[in-house]
Amino acid sequence: MDELKVFSGNANPDLAHAVVDYLGIPLGNCQVFEFSNENTFVRIMDNVRNRDTFVIQPFSSPVNQSIMETMIMIDALKRASAGRITAVIPYYGYGRTDKKDQPRVPITARLIADLLTTSGANRVLTVDLHAAQIQGFFNIPVDELSAINLITNHVKKKNLENLVVVATDIGITKRARDFAERLNAPLAIIEKRRLGNDDRTETLNIIGDVKGRIALTIDDEIDTAGSLINSVQTLLKAGASEVYSCCTHPIFSGPAIERIAASPVKEVIVTDTVPVRPEKKLDKITVLSIAPLLGEAIHRIHTGLSVGAMFQQDS
């Protein structure tokens, strides 16, 4: 693997270190920092000429800075004659802005895809996009990994009896159905609608039977935890005995941690696609490492093996 180079921005360096530990190689040496005038500076310190290079950077807080760092790192690698540049984006920020659902609004997920391609990325590796259609926004190859096996393996070890998997939104029903199949559990769906642009939701109905069952809610991300708390209260009111929750991306912005701490949810299972700061690590929050999944995918991309086969083997 002497031709493989992995670099990291400032968004989640711990994840990048865990990935290179899995690969058995050192993390690439680079300088990435911000001047006092808020301009981002990048310098690649290693020789990358004709090398297969990977930049690991989730678009997490501060989101816009993380995106700019990624694009400038890609540009620096391109100008240093890297052979191939793969943007490894465990969390694709702006993924919710994937369509025009109001008049005179942008499709920012498409704009970011265009910017990444223009900056020089040859391919993208990501995890659990908010909407599968985002793959089609790129004119370069996109590999979308899923944390489904990682999370369901953790849930199986808990030996939860009489389990029901609950999709917290109609849009995530397909993913929730895959969870239910792997856990050999029935599926229920919470029908809700979003109120305006301020993360408020209204629960309309529960489709399926949750009475007397242990509920496991599924979502791609937890932001302010408003939807999560709504879902937990609705399920308990409908007769669920306990509620567990899982998601891939623990954004945990604003009042999220206080809401989770005060809620009756038994456990919140997440991954480290974005960093969970020490002050946000409650006893009821379990963080699973996505590093082996990313490391194996990087190895397969580098050596020309199938990335999709990873999930065929585990299913």
In the three-class reduction of DSSP (H, G, I as helix; E, B as strand; rest coil), residue 311 is classed as helix
Exposed (0-12), middle (13-18) or buried (19+): which is 38, by Cβ within 10 Å?
exposed
Report how far apart the first and last C-alpha atoms of the chain are (Å, whole number): 28
Tokens 């270190």 identify what position?
17
Per the residue annotation, which of 100, 192, 280, 281 is the catalytic one? 192
Give the residue ranges of the annotated binding site for ATP.
37-39
Residues in binding site? 37-39, 130, 169, 194, 219, 223-227
Closest Cα to residue 52, out of 83, 81, 21, 7? 83
> What one-letter code names the amino acid at 204?
L
Strands ordered across the beta sheet of 142-145: 4-8, 52-56, 84-89, 123-127, 142-145
Per the CB < 8 A criterion, the answer to whether 246 and 270 are in contact is yes
Summarize the annotated binding site for Mg(2+) as residue ranges: 130, 169
- The Cα 108–Cα 112 span in angstroms is 6
Among this protein's residues, is 192 annotated catalytic?
yes
Q: Output the known binding site for D-ribose 5-phosphate.
A: 194, 219, 223-227
Q: What is the DSSP string of 122-183?
A: SEEEEES-SSGGGGGG-SS-EEEE--HHHHHHHHHTTT-SSEEEEESSGGGHHHHHHHHHHH
As annotated, the active-site residues are: 192
